[in-house]
A and B are shown apart, each in its own frame.
Chain A
């Protein structure tokens, strides 16, 4: 007999839970919800400055998942699927919202999120100034590129999944990432010698 114990949340991966959810397991739904809710809200908050509305959208995404559980595909990467649903939902709610109709269309939902600095992991001044400079460069990137970086390195999606989330093809997603890194590297390389000189002068 195969025993399925959903209480042992740690060992169950997303796709196992996903499949139990599809079969109507409420516990699996709750575990997936708890696992992903906070980061989905964070992702949503980077598009619009209305935290309550974002939470509402994320809850609606989960509501739909349960209501239409019979129709869900079993070959999804849960996290990428959820991120993409949240993004679409927020974009759509923006379109519906009359206040925003004039100013926004589907493509202009901007990723307003700023990366910060891991201050706790930096002990010396040289590193600190380099990192802070790099951080500025990253945050000055076009919002689409920044979002691609976020999905790739914070959410750990593959390029394929990023393409799905942003609703673009694989090549475009790849380009986004590539361009982001390329322009960063160029700007950074150009400036880093000066910074190093400045820092060494002050000591």
Chain B
């Protein structure tokens, strides 16, 4: 108690742990009371400091023990993920160096052994099919098949959109539960994935698995064609072979915009295409959505709707006269269709909203500001 005789300000007491313990829990009550009463000025100061403490209660920590435990486990998982990514990188660098610097001997040797290896195994290995993959998944899936001659737009529960080409199938859960979003593709689709780093998005397409967090890309995986292709439009995409294929090595390839990957079924090998404009097969198969730009600078909204109609092959109804003087400047690249519509509606304001029914979209608006 001795050094406390020098206390002249409220903050001296506030900072004193023993004082706080006394106020809150009556610790050392006797000593404090006796000391306080020794001097009337001191008593006044102590009383004031006490009131201050009473007025400065911090809310209790609201997390339960279980919640903290869960958070700890989640953190260990995060750590694991980060450490995995760290390991991944050097391998990739090595891989790239090999591709580009052409350490020819190593390459030829590895290709040769790979080829020999595959040759010996190819007899008992059949291409992984869509139906096998679907059966692997126990969750209830919704399947959409496009039997028409035009692409079809599918909106997923997370706001992502998929433009499904004719003769293609997509299976997906009604609602994405858990920490992952998984869909299954047979045929060709253009994916625009809503960003959610916490829930990576996986596309299982025959022999390959494509992983993204939020980006746009095309996958072509027809059961009756010799190759499976992934073409990236925006963002970063990781591709690996499905681990269900027994004799393929665990290869993971990262693709950036305007890069592509071709998986050759015959020998289960990957070929990375670093410039898609140099690849004839790919140039010729570009669909509308991959060619149209979505950067708009002071463009009439009717024009923007037209671009969307062409890209997604949808029909958009909107009050033409009310929106005839509306111009927008906006960037819609990399946004799934619902997100594009949402951004446009928001920019127009005045109670603008949209309704989507299959390939039919209606814009409800009172004009723009």
Contact = CB atoms under 8 A, between A and B. Distances in A.
A37 B62 CA distance: 11
Most buried by A among B9, B54, B59: B54
Interface in B61-86: 61-63, 68-69, 71-72, 74-75, 78-79, 82-83, 86
Given A39-B61, A115-B56, A117-B54, A181 B78 contact: no
Given A135-B55, A138-B56, 16 more contacts: A33-B71, A34-B68, A34-B69, A37-B63, A41-B63, A42-B61, A58-B71, A63-B82, A67-B79, A67-B86, A115-B56, A117-B55, A121-B24, A138-B55, A154-B58, A181-B9
A30 interface: yes
A134 B51 contact: yes
A34 B72 contact: yes
A143 to B, nearest CB: 15
Interface of B: 9-11, 14-15, 17, 23-24, 51-59, 61-63, 68-69, 71-72, 74-75, 78-79, 82-83, 86, 198
Contact of A63 (B17, B58, B75): B75
Contacts of B61: 38-39, 41-42
Interface of A: 30, 33-34, 37-39, 41-42, 55-56, 58-60, 62-63, 66-67, 115-118, 121-122, 127, 130-132, 134-135, 138, 149-150, 152-154, 156, 177, 181, 185
B71 A116 contact: no
A185 B74 CA distance: 45
Given A67-B79, A121-B23, A59 B55 contact: no
B59 A116 contact: yes
15 contacts: A33-B68, A37-B68, A38-B62, A42-B61, A118-B53, A118-B57, A121-B24, A127-B51, A127-B54, A135-B56, A150-B58, A152-B14, A153-B53, A154-B56, A181-B9
B78 A59 contact: yes
Interface of B is mostly: helix
B72 A33 contact: yes
Contact of A149 (B23, B56, B86): B56
B51 A116 contact: no
B209 to A, nearest CB: 25
Contact of B72 (A30, A127, A135): A30
Contact of B71 (A42, A59, A177): A59
Contacts of B15: 152-153
Most buried by B among A34, A58, A121: A121
Most buried by A among B53, B63, B86: B63
Contact of A131 (B54, B58, B75, B83): B54
B177 to A, nearest CB: 16
A117 B75 contact: no
B23 A62 contact: no
Contacts of B78: 59-60, 63
B75 A33 contact: yes
A7 to B, nearest CB: 16
Contacts of B24: 118, 121
A137 to B, nearest CB: 8
A161 B310 CA distance: 59
Contacts of B57: 115-118
A41 B24 CA distance: 23
Contacts of A62: 75
In the A-B complex, the 10 residue pairs with the smallest Cβ-Cβ separation, listed nearest first, are: A38-B61, A135-B55, A134-B55, A154-B58, A38-B63, A118-B54, A63-B78, A59-B75, A116-B57, A118-B57
Contacts of A121: 23-24, 54
A134 B51 CA distance: 8
A132 B56 CA distance: 10
Contacts of B69: 34
A81 B69 CA distance: 22
Contacts of B62: 38, 42
A131 B51 contact: yes
Contacts of B56: 115, 135, 138, 149, 153-154
Contacts of A181: 9-11
Contact of B59 (A33, A42, A58, A153): A42
A167 to B, nearest CB: 22
A122 B11 CA distance: 21
A93 to B, nearest CB: 12
A34 B65 CA distance: 8
A22 to B, nearest CB: 15
Contacts of B198: 56
A122 B54 contact: yes
B32 to A, nearest CB: 14
Contacts of A156: 17
Nearest to A149: B56
